[in-house]
Amino acid sequence: MKKTNPKLAEFKIIDLVNELKYRGVYTDLVYTIYDIDMQLEYINEDLDDDKKIVLTEQDRKKILRNAIDHEYYMEQMNDDLESYILDNYTKN
């Protein structure tokens, strides 16, 4: 298991995201355990008490790693960036 940098461990997630924004990183697509919890809450609202889903922290991390097709979205974003640049900054 990786050790966390002690200086980074002191930061809250929102502080890290704000620092990334400050450095010019697009952060609207950053997903965290909190997002999994919100989705789970929404799902569980419609389930009977005996059917409610309970996730461990390990389950949540696995979901973040496996539920989203990162390669597809990265390829799509790169294509969109290229199209936007060509459409808006090509000299006629």
Report the pLDDT value the prediction gives residue 92, as an integer from 0 to 100: 72
What percent of the chain shows pLDDT beyond 90?
A: 51
Q: Rounded mean pLDDT of 35-58? A: 95
Rounded Cα distance, 50 and 70, in Å? 33
Q: Spell out the domain ranges in the chain.
A: 1-30, 31-92
Q: 57-66 and 33-45 helices cross at what angle (nearest 10)?
A: 100
Among the listed residues 72, 77, 63, the one whose alpha carbon sits nearest the alpha carbon of residue 35: 63
- List, for residues 3-41, the tens digit of each pLDDT value: 666 676 777 878 888 888 899 888 777 788 888 999 999
Q: What is the pTM of this model?
A: 0.62
When mean pLDDT is compared across 9-23, 45-59, 78-92, the lowest value belongs to 9-23
Q: Rounded mean pLDDT of 80-91? A: 95
3 or 82: which leads in pLDDT: 82
Tokens of 33: 């355990």
